[in-house]
Structure 1
Amino acid sequence: MAKVASVHPLDTSLTQVNQRLKAAKLGLQIERRGDRLNLRGTLPPRPGSPKLRPYQQRVPLKIAATKAGLKQCEQTAKIIAAQLLQNIFDWRDYLGPIAGLRMGGADLSSQIDAFEANFFAARSSETSAASLRTTWEKAYVPYLRKLHTTADRHPNLSLPEAIYATVQSTQANSRSRQICCTALAAFAEFLNLELPTDLKSFWGTYGTSQTQLRDLPSDEQILEVYDRLKNPRWKYVYGMMATYGLRNHEVFFCAPASGTGAKPSSDREIIVQETTKTGRHAVWPFYPEWVERFDLLNGELPRINTDLSTTTLQRVGQQVTTQFRRYEIPFSPYDLRHAWAVRTILMGLPDAVAAKMMGHSVQVHNRTYHRWMTHRDQQAAVQTALAKNKLSAPM
C-alpha cells in the first residue's frame, strides 16, 4: 500500500510563497522538512568543498514552520538572491553557530555567550581546561566587558564602531591595547563581522623590542631574600621558583619525576603537570645545589585552594604575587623565572632545551631572554667560556 505524504497546515501558504519567488526569478525555493523550513537553490560551493562551480544546495536555516517563519524565509531568500547577484554571498553567514544568532536577532550578550562557548569547544582537545579558563578570563573577558559597556553607553554606535571605540579607550602603545585588539578581532571573526580597518593597525609600537629591560636579581640577592623570609611554606614556594624557573601557579602543580611514572635522571628532576598553562613538561634545577640549599626535597606548600573546578590558574598565581608584596620582596615572582632563564644561557644550556623546560617556543626564548643579558652577565659568560676552553692565542 502506497504511503500517503503528510499534509502540513503551512503547505498551501508555502506553495504560494514559492510561486512568488519563482515569478521574481530569484532562483531560490523554500522547502519544508518536518517542522523546519530551509532554502534551496543553485549556490557557490561551501567552504572546503572540492567543487568549483555553483550547484543545487540547501541553506540550513532550520526556521520553525510557522507563518512568521515562512515570512522570515521569504525575506532571507530575497537577501541571498541580492548577495548572489552582487557576488558577495558568503556561506559563513548561514553555517555554524553564528547563523542561528543572526537569524534570531541575538543581542550583544547572546553573541558574547556564543563566542565563549565556541572558544572552549574549539580548543578543548588541544589545551587543558584550566589553562583555557585562565586565558579566557585574563585575555578576553576584560575586553568583552569593556565592549559591552561601550555599546550600552553609546547605543547609536554600530558594533564595528563600538569595537573601534573600545580599542581606542585602552592606552596607546601598551600591552593591554594589543591584547584588546587580539580579543576583539577574534570576536569579530567569530561573528563574520567585516571590520573596515584591521585592528592590528591600532597596536602601535608595543612589542618585545620596546619592552623595558628588567633589572633582574643577582644570585646573591636571591639567596639574601630567601634567608630573611620567615614563613617556611612560602620560603619553599620562593625556592622552587628560583631553582626551577617556574611560573607562579606551576609551583602548586608539579611533583618529583620519580613520583609521576617518569624515569628521572636524578631525584632533582620535577614534572610540571598537564593542567598548567603550557601543559606537562620536565624541568631540572639551575643550580642543582639550590635543591639542598633551599631544602626543596622536604618542603611543604602553603594551604591554598588549588581545586581547578572552583578556582583558576590565574587566581592561584595571584596569591603568589600577593605574598611577594606582603613580604616586601624587592622584585616580582616572574623575575625569579627570568633570572633562571638567563642563568641557563650563562651555563651554556642549549636554547631549545631551556625553552622546552620553560614551556614556550625557542623563538620566544631567544627574543625575550637573550635581550636581558646585562654587561655583568656577558662578562661572566666570556670568563666561563675562556676558562672552559683554556686555549692559548698563537704568538
Structure 2
Amino acid sequence: MQAKIQQELEIINQRLKSAKTKVTIRESNGSLQLRATLPLKPGDKNTNGADRKQYNISLNIPANLDGLKTAEEEAHELGKLIARKTFEWNHKYLGNEAIKKDFKKICELLEQFEYEYFKTHKRTTKSEHTFFYYYSRTKRITNPEDIATTENLIGYIEKLDKEWVRYNAARAISAFCQTFKIDIDLSKYSKMPERNSRNIPSDEEISTGFTKFENYLYNRGNQVNQDVQDSWQLWRWTYGMLAVFGLRPRELFINPDITWWLSQENIDLTWKVHKDCKTGERQALPLHKQWIEDFDLRNAKPLKMLATAISKKDKTKHADITALTQRVSWWFRKVGLDFKPYDLRHAWAIRAHVLGIPIKAAADNLGHSVQVHTETYQRWFSLDMRKLAINQALSKRNEIEVIRHENASLSVENEKLKLEIEKLKMELVYKRS
C-alpha cells in the first residue's frame, strides 16, 4: 500500500507539473503537505534578502489514496492564487498553531514569560534564579519589536560569534519557546563547548589586586561626582569578602546580616548567607582569616555603603540584585584586574583542596553539593592546582633551606659563644689564683 501511495504521489506531481501549477505535494510523517515558493510569512525573513521563500504547508490530511485526491485539489487551488498573485497568509495556510500564537511580538511574549513559565514550574529561589537567567538572556539577544517566529529566534543565535555565548543563548531561547509552544530545533547548539581556561589568581595576586582599588583613587580624574567619590571602598570590600569566603557575588547583596558580621559574638568570623539565596541559608567560614584584618573587612564605612546600596533596590527582584553583581564585574575591569569575580570563588575552592580540606566541608562552605564541587570546580584544578601545589612546595623548600642556613649559622655562633664562655671561665680561675 505504501508503494502504491508513493507511485500515485509521483503521478499527481507529474500532472501538476504538466499543468504548470507551481505547487507539489509531499508526504511527511504520514501526513500530506503542499510545497511552494510563496511571499514571506508575517515576521519571517530571508537570509538572501528575497521577498519570497519555499514553504511546506501542512494540510492535516493523512497520506492515503483519498487524502491524495484532496491534496491535489488543494494544490490546484493554491496554484491559482500564486498565478494570479493573490495569495495571502490567512488562517487556512498559517495553520492552527500559528493562529493560536497570532505571531506576537517578542516584547509581548516577554511580558507574559514569567506568568506562563511558573504555570509549569514550582516557584522557589532556585527556579526564580533560573527563570531570570532565561529571561535576561532572551531579552538581551533579541529585538523586542520582531515577531516571535522560529526563523527570527534561530537567526539571533546564529549572529552570535562565540561558542559559549551561542550555547547559553540557545538554552534561554529553548526555554522561551517551550513556554509558548513555539516549534524550534536547537539541537545544533545543544552540545556544550569545551571549557575555556580560567585565570585563577594566586594568594599573592589576590593581595595585590586588593591594592588596585586604592590605586584607582589616586589615578582617576578630578571630575568625580561627590556622591560617589568614595564608592570604590564598597567595591574593594566586596572584592575582599569574595576572596575570603568564596561567595557568589549576590550572596553579599541579598539581605546581608551586617549586624551579625560586626557583632562581637561572631567569634568564628562567619558570613551569614540568607535563605533567599540560590542554595538557601548557611554560615560561610573564612579560609584565610588574616585577610579579614589585612583587608579591613569589618570597617563600618563600606558596610554602611552596602546598606545604602541595597536599600535602593527591590531585594526580591533578581534584576535589581543582578545590577549590583554586574557592578562588581565592572569595577574589576575598571581597576585593571585580569580575573573575574567568580575566579575568586574558584581560587577559594582550589586553595581548600591544596590545604587538604575535605571535599564535603569545602562544598558545604561554598553552598553546593559535592557533585557540583567535583564536576564544576575541580575541572579547573588540573593545571592551576598543580601550579599552586608546586609553588607551595617550592616555597616550603625555600623556607626549609633558609631555616637550615639559619640553624647552621646559629650553631656556629653557639660554638663561638661556648668558646668565649670557656675563655672567660679560665680567665676567672686565673685571677682567683
Offset, 1:135: 2.1
1:341 corresponds to: 349
1:385 and 1:223 mapped to 2: Cα distance? 20
Q: In the alignment, does 2:297 pair up with 1:286?
A: no
The one-letter code matched in structure 1 to 2:358 is P
The one-letter code matched in structure 1 to 2:390 is Q
Q: In the alignment, does 2:207 pair up with 1:199?
A: no
1:107 corresponds to: 104
1:357 and 1:100 mapped to 2: Cα distance? 49
Q: In the alignment, does 2:208 pair up with 1:224?
A: yes
Higher helix share: 2
CA contact (8 A) 2:134 2:176 kept: no
1:295 corresponds to: 296
Offset, 1:329: 3.0
Offset, 1:147: 7.9
1:185 and 1:133 mapped to 2: Cα distance? 12
CA contact (8 A) 2:352 2:362 kept: yes
Q: CA 1:273–1:308 in structure 2 vs 1: closer, same or farther (change >3 Å)?
A: same
1:191 and 1:255 mapped to 2: Cα distance? 37
1:326 corresponds to: 334
Q: Per-residue displacement from partner, 1:221-280 (whole Å, max 9, x unpaired)?
A: 2112324533543332221111011222322236469849xxx99431122123334433
* Unaligned runs of at least 5 residues, structure 2: 1-58, 68-95, 215-231, 398-433
Pick the aligned partner of 2:374 from 359, 366, 372.
Answer: 366
CA contact (8 A) 1:130 1:313 kept: no
Q: CA 1:379–1:371 in structure 2 vs 1: closer, same or farther (change >3 Å)?
A: farther
CA contact (8 A) 2:260 2:266 kept: no
RMSD in angstroms over aligned alpha carbons? 4.0
CA contact (8 A) 1:244 1:284 kept: yes
The one-letter code matched in structure 2 to 1:235 is R
TM-score normalised to the size of structure 2?
0.53
Q: Per-residue displacement from partner, 1:119-172 (whole Å, max 9, x unpaired)?
A: 2454463226973674244333224x34863x48xxxxxx33333333322225
Pick the aligned partner of 2:176 from 181, 187, 193.
Answer: 187
The one-letter code matched in structure 2 to 1:337 is R
Q: In the alignment, does 2:164 pair up with 1:175?
A: yes
The one-letter code matched in structure 1 to 2:188 is S
Q: CA 1:100–1:215 in structure 2 vs 1: closer, same or farther (change >3 Å)?
A: closer
Q: Residues 6-25 of structure 1 correspond to what in structure 2 (within 5 A)?
A: none
1:308 corresponds to: 315
2:396 and 2:369 mapped to 1: Cα distance? 26
CA contact (8 A) 1:243 1:285 kept: yes
1:238 and 1:384 mapped to 2: Cα distance? 26
Offset, 1:199: 1.2
Q: CA 1:362–1:383 in structure 2 vs 1: closer, same or farther (change >3 Å)?
A: farther
Q: In the alignment, does 2:355 pair up with 1:354?
A: no
Q: In the alignment, does 2:238 pair up with 1:237?
A: yes
Q: CA 1:114–1:138 in structure 2 vs 1: closer, same or farther (change >3 Å)?
A: closer
The one-letter code matched in structure 1 to 2:244 is T
Pick the aligned partner of 1:140 from 138, 142, 145.
Answer: 138
Q: Per-residue displacement from partner, 1:317-354 (whole Å, max 9, x unpaired)?
A: 11112222332234322222221121111122232332
Q: CA 1:265–1:379 in structure 2 vs 1: closer, same or farther (change >3 Å)?
A: farther
Q: Figure out how many residues of one structure are paired with residues of the other and give that number.
A: 278
CA contact (8 A) 2:134 2:175 kept: no
The one-letter code matched in structure 2 to 1:189 is Q
Q: CA 1:147–1:185 in structure 2 vs 1: closer, same or farther (change >3 Å)?
A: farther
Offset, 1:316: 0.7
Q: CA 1:223–1:116 in structure 2 vs 1: closer, same or farther (change >3 Å)?
A: same
2:196 corresponds to: 212
CA contact (8 A) 2:114 2:131 kept: no
Q: CA 1:307–1:333 in structure 2 vs 1: closer, same or farther (change >3 Å)?
A: same
Secondary structure, counterpart of 1:286 in structure 2: coil
CA contact (8 A) 1:257 1:267 kept: no
Secondary structure, counterpart of 1:229 in structure 2: helix
* Unaligned runs of at least 5 residues, structure 1: 1-78, 87-98, 153-158, 387-395
Offset, 1:382: 7.1
1:21 corresponds to: none
Offset, 1:117: 1.6
Q: In the alignment, does 2:383 pair up with 1:376?
A: no
The one-letter code matched in structure 2 to 1:114 is Q
2:156 corresponds to: 166
1:126 corresponds to: 124
2:419 corresponds to: none
The one-letter code matched in structure 2 to 1:179 is N
CA contact (8 A) 2:105 2:144 kept: no
2:211 and 2:109 mapped to 1: Cα distance? 53
1:43 corresponds to: none
Asked which structure has the greater CA Rg, the reply is 2
1:203 and 1:309 mapped to 2: Cα distance? 32
Offset, 1:116: 3.1
Secondary structure, counterpart of 2:124 in structure 1: coil
Offset, 1:367: 2.7
